[in-house]
A = this chain, B = another copy of it.
């Protein structure tokens, strides 16, 4: 895997070959124990979480697992001003689609591959931070929920949601993270059932994200100071603290697996979901930037569009 690392303190990632093909959708830059990862899916106008990003994330996870003392904090942001990561490539759920990735994770053969990416992020030896300046819906939101912390920009571009129920299936872990450990049962029901977007300020008020910032400068200054501070501390303490927090607040693995398999095996293949997915592909011109991708979940127009 080729990486360009431009920092004063260069960090050599694992020399072993990557397990999955590499697509260059993650630009990494490591310095002083902090790896900044910029998500930039050049195959998509919406930072779609397709097999390119998933393969690159899986490779990155293996690198981070093996560099548990040199890299102490991983900070994820997006190169796309409108989308942190839009959502999972819905082609995964349509007949005839063949992914170059395995269906189930080799390391966790009970887990569909995308879920294993999320689960493996929760188990990284690093502190993980999402810097959210754009939309993150469905699997895109689950990606930021799988990270330890989330900081968001107070901007109309930040719209978080779990919109799977609007397609007739369930979020895989997303609503569970929200209900068990972040916003409580009542609000997890409200946002999940409705597939409504939440903005950054409301998300910070109820605990969906850690904090919201009015300017990009404030957001990045806070996160880099936080990351820099964490990176000064001995990694063993960070890892033991993470194990302790995970032991009491990570959603139960069996419930998470059940939700993920239910989508893949039962609900996404259902007639109702298939019809809505196909409609969505049409009205978004196969998941490209436009009115529907920008505004899905706002509640005024998109429901009528789809139903």
Interface residues of A (CB under 8 A from B): 127, 148-150, 164-171, 175-177, 179-190, 192-196, 206-207, 209-210, 225-226, 229-230, 232-234, 236-238, 240-245, 247-252, 255, 258-259, 262-263, 267, 270, 272-273, 276, 299, 303, 307
| Majority DSSP secondary structure for residues of A touching B | helix
Provide the bound-state CA to CA distance between A243 and B256, in Å: 11
Q: Which residues of B contact A272 (CB under 8 A)?
A: 234, 236
Which of B226, B237, B249 is close to A179, meaning CB atoms less than 8 Å apart? B249
Task: For residue A209, give the distance in angstroms from its CB to the closest CB of chain B.
Answer: 7
Task: For residue A167, give the distance in angstroms from its CB to the closest CB of chain B.
Answer: 7
Residue on B nearest A299 in the bound complex, by CB: B229
A182 near B185 with CB under 8 A, answer yes
Which of B165, B189, B251 is close to A233, meaning CB atoms less than 8 Å apart? B165
Q: A181-B179, A240-B169, A272-B236 are in contact. Are A210 and B193 (CB under 8 A)?
A: no
Q: Which residues of B contact A276 (CB under 8 A)?
A: 234
Task: For residue A70, give the distance in angstroms from its CB to the closest CB of chain B.
Answer: 15
Q: Which residues of B contact A166 (CB under 8 A)?
A: 232-233, 237
Counting every copy of the chain, the complex holds 3
Provide the bound-state CA to CA distance between A250 and B194, in Å: 20
Which of B127, B187, B194, B225 is close to A230, meaning CB atoms less than 8 Å apart? B194
B176 near A245 with CB under 8 A, answer yes
B229 near A169 with CB under 8 A, answer no
Max chain B C-beta neighbours (<10 A), residue from A177, A238, A242, A249 = A249
A237 near B167 with CB under 8 A, answer yes
Max chain B C-beta neighbours (<10 A), residue from A150, A234, A238 = A234
Q: Which residues of B contact A249 (CB under 8 A)?
A: 176, 179-180, 184-185, 188
Q: Which residues of B contact A210 (CB under 8 A)?
A: 186-187, 190
Provide the bound-state CA to CA distance between A165 and B232, in Å: 10
Q: Which residues of B contact A250 (CB under 8 A)?
A: 185
B168 near A236 with CB under 8 A, answer yes
Task: For residue A174, give the distance in angstroms from its CB to the closest CB of chain B.
Answer: 9
Residue on B nearest A254 in the bound complex, by CB: B247
A262 near B248 with CB under 8 A, answer no
Task: For residue A33, give the distance in angstroms from its CB to the closest CB of chain B.
Answer: 11
Contacts A195-B229, A247-B252 given; 10 further ones with Cβ under 8 A? A148-B190, A170-B241, A175-B245, A176-B245, A179-B248, A179-B249, A180-B249, A182-B184, A183-B184, A229-B299
